[in-house]
Amino acid sequence: MNLTRFARLAPAVFLLPVAFLATPAAHAATSCTVNGAPVPGPDITGTDGDDVIVCGGLDAGATVDARGGADTITLTGDVSGSVLGGDGDDHIVLAEGARLTERGVIDGQAGKDEIDLRGAVLGTVRGGQDDDLILLFKTATTGEAGVIRGARGADVILADGAVTIRGLVEGVGENDFIDINGTVAPTGRVHGDDGDDVLHVHVNQGEVDGGDGTDVCTVDSGNQPLNCP
């Protein structure tokens, strides 16, 4: 199954748990390449074209700014700095074994971005200004301080059945679709916020809140949703 193509149609159906592939990773300090060439930190900058950026690690205070174009950014180690997609429809991957620390930020910014989360999310992930797709694969883990936010646009956030949400997942603006096929832990929260959202959680031990708007919320078992008709 083409998960990305299916996910773009997600508001019509709930996604069934899928066995996701994973990529091994290593931990390192700031170490990045841009289009195959090593670039020293703390500022790693792409071009206005379509760039391929790979980082084995990103120290606190370091920034990756892909700028314009449809960029691909792969993160394979500890990320304590900021990763910015810039303009364009970007693809950002937090690989299996990689770790977005509590200080780390991934922000797709402008464009219809896809953010694949296969590692540990302890920091903040933002889709950005447009209609974005955020996928939590089966190897993804989340911390209590972790935030996964669609931000502006009609966003789609999907989590595999093996994933446990321990922090916050929220759509924020417009009509979002959030499908958590795994578990929302007692510390976990899934919020639709503004807009007419569709929320689905398989097992809810925490909080599911539709927020403002006319929302559709489904919880298969556990705590029932708030602010849904």
Span 6-35, average pLDDT: 55
pLDDT band at 133 (very low <50, low <70, confident <90, very high): very high
pLDDT for 7 equals 54
User: Tokens representing 2?
Assistant: 């083409």
pTM, full prediction: 0.88
What was the pLDDT predicted at 154? 94
Amino acid 157: pLDDT: 98
Residue 13 has pLDDT above 50, yes or no: no
Tens-digit pLDDT profile for residues 73-121: 999 999 999 999 999 999 999 999 999 999 999 999 999 999 999 999 9
Count the alpha carbons within 13 Å of 147 in the hemisphere toward its beta carbon.
Answer: 16
Instruction: Give the pLDDT of residue 229.
Output: 78
Instruction: Provide the pLDDT for residue 29.
Output: 81
Cα separations in angstroms, 122 against 23, 105, 111, 137, 176? 19, 9, 24, 15, 23
> Taking residues 159-166, what's their average pLDDT?
99
Between 2 and 47, name the one with better pLDDT: 47
Going by C-alpha positions, the residue among 77, 156, 61, 142 that lies closest to residue 112 is 156
All domains of the chain in start order, with CATH = 3-161 (2.160.20.160)
